[in-house]
């Protein structure tokens, strides 16, 4: 005889077991759907399109005269992380940190937002001179062959996987901002070659940050640095004296954007963080030991949220309620996975819940991890499917908040795979956009005007928009003006529409 529990208390039970704010928010959202109001975006004017003033510029001669990545023949033995770590030590030195924070709060934003002709060049030059030792270390990384930073993540298990801190990776953003400032000063002083060199160092920093640790957060920091660097590529391209950088852009390696290794690692995060649910012993264990495994999982969730790290009586009660709430559905899951009916009937409720949770963890991890194994071009097309899966019954059953403990854990801790793929796609699209504009600048140098269509641009081939999986949008207005458009990689992409104006 099974205990019938009303639908509403089951949601409360799930929230109680987690003791986790995200789950409380999820419960609240499900219990009060009538309170949800549609966002009021109607009547909001679209932002004015971005204007890029460009000069005609023929293909560089020799073609590889400029590059944003060192040629293999230029590389020397060494690990980029050594000078980068030294630059981080200098960044966090007490005197440097105080000066950096003061400068950031007082003038930093203005230095980045001002147009190049309004930069206080003397002031910025003085500031960069004060950080010359730091910048020199970063520049030492430009030609080093390897980027290796072994954090031992593969051997980590339990909460250490989640609570492991990476402050050095986050602080690489500040190193990048110094390089951006160095680039902007060079452009303001018409030192194009120096600007290209600073961009190149920044892209090496982006690659090193992304390769550190093999985590999605490392890749996201790396792509954030790469995007700052690519914005400086745009600033260089739109400088009146800029050479054509088509082949320099083509030199940027795809590895800077590639999420594959990080996605593969983090798709296994549930089994790494919650071995008490995912790693089932081969030998028989006592009924109380199965309940202890559920209590341990709840305790680990509590630690992640800053709660007690020691199992409490409340956790014991919550674990018991979770077992009662999910025992029947867990048995059904085991039967649907071809477990012997007599064996399932003989299980204690706690054992059934843990074993069903282990099945769900494996299936959820497989569903996420499989996308990382696809070729990159195909992987980009799976974003909508991943987002739909997060809204499916797999994570939000129509009758209960969760159907088993594996789904409960998975709904909270799986990596934001779709968001990571969108970030990857956005960076790839930015590079393709910049290369296509350089192809247009080459056309203008040959023909003295902007092309009437991208199909007319043949000497340096335009790149396809990786979001649209086809050509970028292009509308000819006049010999000196055209509208260049792309499908937004993210809903808030600010540069999906760009006005190209050719200087005369």
Tens of pLDDT, residues 342-396: 988 888 888 888 888 888 888 878 877 777 777 777 776 676 676 666 555 444 4
Please state the φ and ψ torsions of residue 465, each to the nearest 5 degrees: -75, 115
Gap between the Cα atoms of 54 and 234, Å rounded: 10
* Six-digit token string for 217: 């957060």
* Six-digit token string for 197: 């060199």
Tens of pLDDT, residues 313-335: 666 676 777 787 788 888 888 88
Give the lowest-confidence range in 44-48, 185-189, 321-325, 440-444. Answer: 44-48
- Can you give the pLDDT at residue 154? 67
Q: What is the dihedral of CA 187, 188, 191, 194, to 10 degrees?
A: -50
Q: Is the peptide bond before 62 cis (omega within 30 degrees of 0)?
A: yes
Chain centroid to CA 488: 16
Q: What value does the mean pLDDT take over residues 494-499?
A: 83
Q: What value does the mean pLDDT take over residues 51-55?
A: 94
Gap between the Cα atoms of 245 and 277, Å rounded: 53
User: How much of the chain exceeds pLDDT 70, in percent?
Assistant: 74
- Can you give the pLDDT at residue 311? 59
Q: What is the dihedral of CA 273, 279, 281, 285, to 10 degrees?
A: 50
- Residue 27: band (very low, low, confident or very high) from pLDDT cuts 50, 70, 90: very low
Q: What is the dihedral of CA 49, 54, 56, 57, to 10 degrees?
A: -120
Closest to 372 measured CA to CA, from 219, 170, 206, 156 = 219
For 248, left (φ over 0), alpha (ψ -120 to 50), or beta? alpha
Q: What value does the mean pLDDT take over residues 443-470?
A: 94
Q: At what angle do helices 313-336 and 7-18 cross, to 10 degrees?
A: 120
- Can you give the pLDDT at residue 52? 94
Strands 50-54 and 497-502: parallel
- Can you give the pLDDT at residue 34? 32
- Residue 487: band (very low, low, confident or very high) from pLDDT cuts 50, 70, 90: confident
Exposure of 259 in the CB half-sphere (CA atoms within 13 A): 30
- Residue 84: band (very low, low, confident or very high) from pLDDT cuts 50, 70, 90: very high
What is the chain's mean pLDDT, rounded?
79
Contact by Cβ (8 Å): 165, 212: no
Q: What value does the mean pLDDT take over residues 158-173?
A: 73
Gap between the Cα atoms of 232 and 196, Å rounded: 9
Strands 481-485 and 144-146: unpaired
Q: What value does the mean pLDDT take over residues 334-344?
A: 87
For 246, left (φ over 0), alpha (ψ -120 to 50), or beta? alpha
Neighbouring C-beta atoms of residue 491, cutoff 10 Å: 7
- Can you give the pLDDT at residue 127? 87
Number of residues that this document lists for the chain: 504
Q: Helix or strand or coil: residue 405?
A: helix
């Amino acid at each position: 005889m099974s205990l019938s529990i009303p639908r509403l208390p089951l949601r409360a039970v799930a929230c109680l077991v987690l003791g986790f704010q995200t789950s409380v928010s999820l419960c609240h959202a499900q219990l009060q759907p009538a309170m949800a109001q549609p966002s009021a975006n109607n009547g909001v004017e679209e932002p004015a399109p971005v204007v890029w003033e460009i000069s005609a510029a023929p293909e560089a001669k020799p073609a590889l005269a400029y590059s944003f990545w060192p040629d293999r023949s230029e590389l020397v033995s060494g690990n980029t992380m050594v000078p980068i770590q030294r630059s981080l030590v200098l960044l966090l030195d007490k005197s440097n940190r105080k000066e950096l924070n003061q400068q950031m709060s007082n003038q930093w934003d203005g230095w980045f937002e001002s147009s190049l002709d309004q930069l206080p060049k003397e002031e910025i030059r003085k500031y960069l001179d004060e950080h010359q030792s730091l910048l020199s270390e970063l520049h030492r990384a430009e030609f080093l062959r390897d980027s290796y930073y072994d954090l031992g993540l593969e051997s980590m298990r339990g909460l250490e996987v989640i609570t492991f801190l990476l402050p050095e990776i986050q602080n690489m953003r500040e190193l990048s901002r110094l390089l951006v400032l160095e680039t902007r000063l060079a452009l303001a002083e018409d030192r194009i070659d120096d600007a290209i060199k600073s961009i190149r160092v920044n892209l090496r920093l982006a690659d090193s940050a992304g390769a550190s640790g093999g985590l999605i957060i490392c890749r996201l920091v790396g792509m954030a640095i790469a995007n700052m660097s690519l914005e400086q590529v745009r600033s260089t391209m739109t400088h009146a004296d800029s050479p054509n950088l088509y082949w320099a852009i083509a030199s940027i390696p795809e590895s800077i954007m590639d999420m594959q290794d990080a996605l593969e690692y983090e798709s296994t995060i549930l089994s790494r963080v919650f071995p008490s649910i995912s790693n089932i012993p081969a030998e028989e264990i006592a009924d109380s030991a199965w309940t202890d495994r559920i209590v341990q999982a709840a305790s680990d969730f509590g630690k992640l949220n800053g709660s007690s790290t020691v199992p409490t009586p409340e956790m014991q009660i919550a674990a018991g309620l979770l077992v009662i709430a999910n025992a029947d559905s867990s048995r059904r899951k085991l039967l649907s996975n071809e477990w012997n009916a007599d064996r399932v009937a003989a299980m204690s409720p706690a054992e059934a819940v843990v074993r069903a949770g282990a099945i769900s963890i494996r299936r959820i991890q497989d569903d996420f991890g499989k996308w990382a194994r696809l070729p990159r071009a195909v992987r980009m097309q799976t974003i909508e499917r991943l987002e739909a899966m997060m809204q499916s019954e797999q994570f939000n059953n129509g009758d209960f908040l969760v159907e088993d403990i594996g789904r409960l854990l998975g709904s909270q801790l799986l990596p934001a795979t779709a968001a990571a793929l969108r970030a990857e796609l956005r960076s790839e699209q930015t590079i393709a956009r910049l290369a296509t504009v350089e192809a247009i600048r080459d056309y203008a140098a040959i023909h003295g005007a902007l092309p009437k269509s991208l199909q007319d641009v043949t000497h340096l081939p335009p790149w396809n928009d990786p979001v649209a999986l086809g050509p970028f949008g292009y509308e000819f207005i006049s010999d000196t003006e055209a509208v260049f458009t792309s499908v937004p990689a993210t809903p808030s992409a600010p540069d999906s529409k760009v006005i190209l104006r050719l200087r005369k």
